[in-house]
Structure 1
Amino acid sequence: MILLKKMGSWLGSIAIAFVLVVFLGVFIFQSTKVLGHSMDPTLHDTQKVYVSKLSHTFAQAPDYGDIVIIDSRVDQKRTLMNDLLDSPLLSLFLKADDRHVWIKRVIGKPGDTLEFKNHKVYRNGQVLDEPYVKEQMIFESDKQWVVPEGHIWVMGDNRNNSSDSRVIGFIPLDHVLGKKVF
């Protein structure tokens, strides 16, 4: 009888700890791993990054230059279930595929006009000073993109080897899962 009470106490403590860790990972803070070379030279393949989820939890827009974690499935509405399934702890148990979670840099915010000419990025007619970019960008376009309300535009620092907003378009703010802290 005493053994059963002790086991119940232990199981209760483990359950509470599990729920707390999931809560923290979904709403407050989590670590994630960089997959690929799109953020070279700033971040490297397999590097661990720590992310504040508070901006996602409280629906705060990121700033220019912030490194953000996004859900690249911009054609799908995000739900609380997505947040739970993207939690690192739960994804260990569920063998979830996290290739839709990308790490990119914020280049444009709502209302910004973006252009890509002379191998540079122009925001609202001004060329961006981007010392973090790996090499000169090959991409150019005659098109202008105006970031709609409730969205951002993101790009990788390795512009010639990055799937980003040039491929998937504007990122809804609810698809910004967090900001890199360190």
Structure 2
Amino acid sequence: MNFALILLILSVVTGIAWIADKLVFAPQRKAAGIDRMPLWLEYTASFFPVIFAVFFLRSFLFEPFKIPSGSMIPTLMIGDFILVNKFTYGVRLPVINKKVIEMNSPERGDVAVFRFPKDESVDYIKRVIGLPGDVISYQGKRLTINGQEFQSEAKPDYLDPEGMTYAKFFKETFPKEFGGHSYNVLNHPERPPGIFVQDRFPYAENCTYTMTGVTCTVPKGHYFVMGDNRDNSADSRFWGFVPENNLVGKAFFVWMNLGDLKRIGRFE
């Protein structure tokens, strides 16, 4: 469902009714001594300010999303409702998604929402690992960027709530020259390190697959993303790169989780 398109249509319809009421119907009622607005105007013109405000906020400022899977555990949990900054990667026109104002580009370590390249009606959320031109290698469950290995600090084992199995818990850090951003990741030692891809994707020739992992050179205008729950995430290792035009925004805040109110305000 294209909710942005629905809001746009509702904004246009109720906006026309609102303008018509201000310019035509309200003066006629005043001249006739009628105070009450007709029912059809009450359910159109009266709702225009609210619908337009929601449309504007959701299209240009902040949009709520619900986390449907465990691919970003332990950073984001299933059931988290998050807010996404829609303008941090540039202002785009709603529905057609055309960028009209350039702003910031994604940075390594950002948690980004984007339209899934294989089905753009579906929104995905992953962590940005590689920028255009970066060489990202994930071999033996160890991550490197342009030949430099990420720092990895072991923590106590973590009970992955999605599979109810214990996973190795690490604090992973980009090399300093690549931002030094830190975040938590999970690895399941019983899962094999090899990555098997059945369908080819755009720029698949930029990736080399082995029995121990994958190495990819990120093409211009694209990004390499991964889930923090490394062995429970379908990401760039499997379906390829995220085009810049598919970016929706940067996730930054958990505003609700009905199953765990302590999650509110967290984003680790």
TM-score (norm 2): 0.54
Give the secondary-structure state (helix, strand or coil) at the position aligned to 1:2.
coil
Deviation of 1:20 after TM superposition, in Å, equals 2.0
Moved more, 117-126 or 135-144: 135-144
Correspondence for 1:117:
139
Distance 2:248 2:114 in 1: 5
Q: How does 1:6-45 map to 2 (within 5 A)?
A: 8=41, 11-45=44-78
1:149 and 2:236 correspond: no
8 Å CA contact 1:67–1:180 kept in 2: the answer is yes
Aligned residues: 160
Q: Which runs of 5+ in 1 are unaligned?
A: 79-97
Q: How does 1:1-182 map to 2 (within 5 A)?
A: 1-4=34-37, 8=41, 11-54=44-87, 55-57=89-91, 58-59=101-102, 60-72=104-116, 74-75=117-118, 100-129=122-151, 130=172, 131-135=183-187, 138-140=192-194, 141-142=209-210, 143-182=214-253
For the pair shown, which has the larger CA radius of gyration, 1 or 2?
Answer: 2
Deviation of 1:23 after TM superposition, in Å, equals 1.9
**1:100-119 C-alpha deviation (Å, 9 max, x unpaired):** 21110000000000111132
Distance 1:68 1:139 in 2: 25
Distance 1:168 1:19 in 2: 37
**1:140-173 C-alpha deviation (Å, 9 max, x unpaired):** 4445311111110100000100011112201001
8 Å CA contact 1:56–1:176 kept in 2: the answer is no
Distance 1:4 1:117 in 2: 68
Distance 1:64 1:5 in 2: 55
Deviation of 1:10 after TM superposition, in Å, equals 7.4
Correspondence for 1:94:
none
Give the secondary-structure state (helix, strand or coil) at the position aligned to 2:250.
strand
Deviation of 1:126 after TM superposition, in Å, equals 0.9
TM-score (norm 1): 0.78
Relative to structure 1, the CA distance from residue 26 to residue 139 in structure 2 (aligned partners, 3 Å threshold; closer, same or farther) is farther
Distance 2:57 2:138 in 1: 39
- Select the structure with the greater relative contact order (CA < 8 A; seq sep ≥ 6): 1
Please report the RMSD computed on the Cα atoms of aligned residues, expressed in angstroms: 2.3
Deviation of 1:11 after TM superposition, in Å, equals 4.0
8 Å CA contact 1:56–1:174 kept in 2: the answer is no
> Percent of pairs identical after alignment?
32
